[in-house]
Amino acid sequence: MVTKNDIKFINNLKHKKFRDLNNCFVVEGIKSINDFIDSNYKLIKLYSVDCSHFNDLNNQFQIDYKLLKKISYLTNPDDHFALFQKKEIQSINVNGLIIALESIRDPGNLGTIIRTCDWFGVNEIICSLDSVDCYNPKVIQASMGSLSRVSIKYLNLKGFLKSSKHLRIGTTLNGSSIYDLNLNKAVLVFGNESKGISDELIELIDSKVTIPRFQKNNLPESLNLASSVAIILGEIKRKEL
Amino acid sequence: MVTKNDIKFINNLKHKKFRDLNNCFVVEGIKSINDFIDSNYKLIKLYSVDCSHFNDLNNQFQIDYKLLKKISYLTNPDDHFALFQKKEIQSINVNGLIIALESIRDPGNLGTIIRTCDWFGVNEIICSLDSVDCYNPKVIQASMGSLSRVSIKYLNLKGFLKSSKHLRIGTTLNGSSIYDLNLNKAVLVFGNESKGISDELIELIDSKVTIPRFQKNNLPESLNLASSVAIILGEIKRKEL
């Protein structure tokens, strides 16, 4: 059964405060739901038009598509909708590449970055405290299940960089070419979508890198943030091969 | 003056049919508007809270922010809003790299791809006829002015590939590594966000390439389309240096 209160509860989970208060978040679509189950996220409730897709799970509710449309955040919902318990990331594995994001605002960008990190085997992302919440439904949607495999920790980025023993690389518009870069252990810092890395953090950076621009007139001012992360990870990983 | 009819007209420009019928589209934000002016797009009307930002343009209308909020497509509108005439791309310059997109659906993806192509000096994009319209406001927004410098042609992709004298490279999940790829003249085909390249087009492909996956468990199924384009262009352009 889905009561009016359930619908109201689910609708409220669009808001970070409500997700924090209730320690849970929404995942839609069979692939993503299975990814979170496989990564040992605790399933709280599953609403599905066909529960036979899932093995003996508790808290399954078979519902019709009309009702699914009422609870779903999507215009054209997938057949499956789940609530999971949030996972608190305790510590960061500092033995590899870490992606640090300052004041990232766009949920689609964060979700896409999580998906790209997953592809390239980069499992550690750090976000400044004012960044968009990784349990935002648009982040979950764009990450396509990859959030279940990548650790995201929100912290004071300035403090983290200050105490970091890794090389701190800042991605800017005026650094050396990423094609000359060679690293495997580092914190790779990306700034806000429109402002880039703040002066406060730039001071803590050991080295700046840039993706070379090939348009002759130099008119495009910048690249999309998620595309920049993709290009730089593609280049770093190439050198590992 | 902005009449009720003007507001209705502008609102209708969200729809492709109406844009086609009236041969115009909306651009918001001073940087993007200037990019289209500099690229010789014909400005039809400019609504601005401060027209002094622009040189002697005809059809300028100074409006207050309250009115701007009524016509803008954005939740937090920039101070400037313009209507431009669409440009018909007559022919494709086949002397370099061409990006071909099959059935691309997401306007944010197309806009991001246009921005990435602009950055890397790739000025030719071909879209299959069922792809999202490049004058869709979300495409314009995500392209950040780059649409003014990149040519996009909608055509029958099958026919184009059949008659193409270029190497036809298809991006798939089971091709050879992009890191081993070496090319400067080619048509680089990307498939739909969820389905990839159709069987019909795969038959016309000379060679398949893939971005190597580094996650050990092979669980991430795919990359975001715009991120894939970014990684592959970054790699092709690196070899030009």
**Whether residue A55 has pLDDT greater than 80:** no
Helices and strands (H, E) in chain B, number of each type: 9, 10
Contacts of B222 in chain A (CB under 8 A): 144
Does this complex have an ipTM over 0.85? yes
Q: Which of B148, B181, B214 to mutate to test the interface with A (most CBs of A within 10 A)?
A: B214
**Of the listed ranges A97-111, A140-154, A175-189, B96-110, the one predicted with least confidence:** A175-189
CB spacing of A241 vs B145 below 8 angstroms: no
Among the listed residues A231, A186, A163, the one whose alpha carbon sits nearest the alpha carbon of residue A96: A186
Band of residue B85 on the pLDDT scale cut at 50, 70, 90: very high
Six-digit token pair at B190? 């990307």
How far apart CA B194 and CA A179 sit, in angstroms, is: 31
- Of residues B120 and A58, the one with the higher pLDDT is B120
Residues A137 and A229 occupy one common structural domain = yes
* Final residue before a domain boundary, out of A85, A118, A146: A85
pLDDT reported for residue B91: 80
Contacts of B181 in chain A (CB under 8 A): none
Size of interface A-B (CB pairs under 8 A): 127
Residues A215 and A101 occupy one common structural domain = yes
Residues A120 and A170 occupy one common structural domain = yes
**Average pLDDT score over chain A:** 93
Residues B233 and B142 occupy one common structural domain = yes
Residues A77 and A107 occupy one common structural domain = no
Band of residue A124 on the pLDDT scale cut at 50, 70, 90: very high
Ranges of H-type helices in A59-217: 65-71, 107-119, 137-143, 157-163, 199-202
- State the nearest Cα–Cα gap between A139 and chain B, in angstroms: 13
Band of residue A237 on the pLDDT scale cut at 50, 70, 90: very high
Contacts of B227 in chain A (CB under 8 A): 112, 115-116, 226-227, 229-230
> Domain total for chain B?
2
Quick check: A190 and A225 in contact, CB under 8 A?
Answer: yes
Band of residue B185 on the pLDDT scale cut at 50, 70, 90: confident
- State the nearest Cα–Cα gap between B17 and chain A, in angstroms: 22
- State the nearest Cα–Cα gap between A64 and chain B, in angstroms: 25
Q: 């690293």: which residue's tokens?
A: A183
Three-state SS for B136-168 is CHHHHHHHCCHHHCCEEEEECHHHHHHHCCCEE
Band of residue A185 on the pLDDT scale cut at 50, 70, 90: confident
Residue B31 is part of a domain; what is its CATH number? 3.30.1330.30
Residues A103 and A31 occupy one common structural domain = no
Among the partner residues B149, B179, B224, nearest to A116 by beta-carbon distance: B224
Cβ burial of A240 (10 Å; 0-12, 13-18, 19+) is exposed
Residues B152 and B234 occupy one common structural domain = yes
Whether residue A143 is contained in a domain is answered as yes
Contacts of B211 in chain A (CB under 8 A): 119, 234
Band of residue B167 on the pLDDT scale cut at 50, 70, 90: very high
Q: How many residues does chain B have?
A: 241
Mean pLDDT computed over A157-185: 92
Among the listed residues A170, A202, A25, A11, the one whose alpha carbon sits nearest the alpha carbon of residue A100: A170
* Final residue before a domain boundary, out of A29, A57, A85: A85
Contacts of A139 in chain B (CB under 8 A): none
Contacts of B31 in chain A (CB under 8 A): 221
Quick check: A49 and A100 in contact, CB under 8 A?
Answer: no
Q: Nearest residue of A to residue B142 by CA position?
A: A224
pTM over 0.90: yes
Quick check: A41 and A157 in contact, CB under 8 A?
Answer: no
**Whether residue B95 has pLDDT greater than 80:** no
Q: Which domain holds residue B8?
A: 4-85
Residues B116 and B27 occupy one common structural domain = no
Whether residue B119 is contained in a domain is answered as yes
Cβ burial of A203 (10 Å; 0-12, 13-18, 19+) is exposed
Q: Nearest residue of A to residue B229 by CA position?
A: A227
Whether residue B92 is contained in a domain is answered as no
How far apart CA B90 and CA A141 sit, in angstroms, is: 38
Residues A159 and A233 occupy one common structural domain = yes
Residues A24 and A64 occupy one common structural domain = yes
Residues B75 and B193 occupy one common structural domain = no
Six-digit token pair at A212? 């070379």
Mean pLDDT computed over A148-173: 95
Residues A128 and A215 occupy one common structural domain = yes
Phi and psi at residue B164, to the nearest 5° = -70, 140
Whether residue B140 is contained in a domain is answered as yes
**Whether residue A81 has pLDDT greater than 80:** yes
**Of the listed ranges B86-95, B122-131, B137-146, B164-173, the one predicted with least confidence:** B86-95
Quick check: B117 and B125 in contact, CB under 8 A?
Answer: yes
Quick check: B10 and B83 in contact, CB under 8 A?
Answer: yes
How far apart CA B114 and CA B146 sit, in angstroms, is: 6
Residue B232 is part of a domain; what is its CATH number? 3.40.1280.10
Contacts of B115 in chain A (CB under 8 A): 220, 223-224, 227
Among the partner residues A179, A216, A220, nearest to B146 by beta-carbon distance: A220
How far apart CA A21 and CA B224 sit, in angstroms, is: 32
pLDDT reported for residue B155: 95
Using a CB–CB cut-off of 8 Å, the residues of B that contact A are: 31, 35, 38, 108, 112, 115-116, 118-121, 142, 144-146, 149, 177, 179, 211-217, 219-224, 226-231, 233-235, 237-238, 240-241
**Whether residue B206 has pLDDT greater than 90:** yes
Cβ burial of A147 (10 Å; 0-12, 13-18, 19+) is buried
Q: Could you give the count of Cα atoms lying within 13 Å of B155 in the half-sphere of its Cβ?
A: 20
* Final residue before a domain boundary, out of A27, A51, A85: A85
Among the partner residues B112, B115, B220, nearest to A118 by beta-carbon distance: B220
